[in-house]
Amino acid sequence: MLKGDPLKAALANALRDAEGLGGQERRFVAMASRELSRHQRLLDLAARLLGHSHAKIVMTEDQALVRYTLWRRLFCGEGWTRIGPEVRLPGPVRPRTLHDAVLEGLVTKPLPEVPSSESESVADRLATRYSFPGWLTQRLAEVYPEATLAGLMASLDEEPALHFRVRPAGTRDAVLAALAEEGVVAEAVPSSPDALRVADASHRIFETKVMKSRRLQVQDVGSQLIVQACVPPGGSLVGLT
């Protein structure tokens, strides 16, 4: 991705070529990759504050390693005891110019305060905090007040929840009960009659009998609501031209 490939394509290609990874490891790789992209602006600011600007890091692989280390510290709340075994050498074969001591410093050194500027606008501050492009934040700031804007940007930075559409329609309660019997925590989405949200981060749902019997289809709630809104009146016919 750092070399210019779209995130989705780069991730798909990397996981396709990877060997020896289990399902849980693959899900973590995908989630971490999205997180590094999602919070890149803030992670790069933290690196600069700690004296490791990406302009000084020659290899893109090392840039990703710095971002990963800081993400584990700032967003996962982990210390060097947990992060160290994940990033220090010897480890997975990879290009590497950073010493382990540099990575340890990114975790153990106090993070300096972000320099403030009287000329910095609310949009600039929020763009940095939530890693949004400045032009997009400015456009949003023209529409939403600061309190609403901060909440909106924070929600867009979250890893999306996993939603499903129940099949056949109208059987959501039965599907929820069957998932509960298999130990998967899920809940109904009130805004759509056949939508449910999985609260279990392990993604065990894909191994359940319910999923294998095709009672569930991955589908965002927004897509389900569009279908509801487009349902024609009773007795009507829809023609395709």
Q: What residues contact residue 9 under an 8 Å CB cut-off, 6+ apart?
A: none
Q: Averaging pLDDT over each range in 1-10, 67-76, 157-166, which range is the top one?
A: 67-76
In what helix (H) or strand (E) does residue 107 lie, and over which residues does it extend? helix 100-108
- Cis amide linkage into residue 160, ω under 30° from 0: no
- Cis amide linkage into residue 110, ω under 30° from 0: no
What are the tokens at 126? Answer: 């929020």
Torsion sign (Cα): 50, 56, 62, 64:
positive
Q: Does this model's pTM top 0.85?
A: no
What are the tokens at 137? Answer: 């934040």
What would the pLDDT profile of 35-58 be if each residue is shown by its tens digit? Answer: 999 999 999 999 999 988 877 777
What would the pLDDT profile of 68-116 be if each residue is shown by its tens digit? Answer: 999 999 999 999 999 999 998 876 556 678 888 999 999 999 998 877 7
Torsion sign (Cα): 151, 156, 161, 165:
positive
Per-residue pLDDT at 46: 93
Mode of pairing for the β-strands spanning 216-218 and 186-188: unpaired
Looking at 16-20, 70-74, 142-146, 152-156, which range is the least confident one? 16-20
Given the structure tokens 């410093």, which residue do they identify? Answer: 105
Residue 122 in this model has a pLDDT that exceeds 90:
no
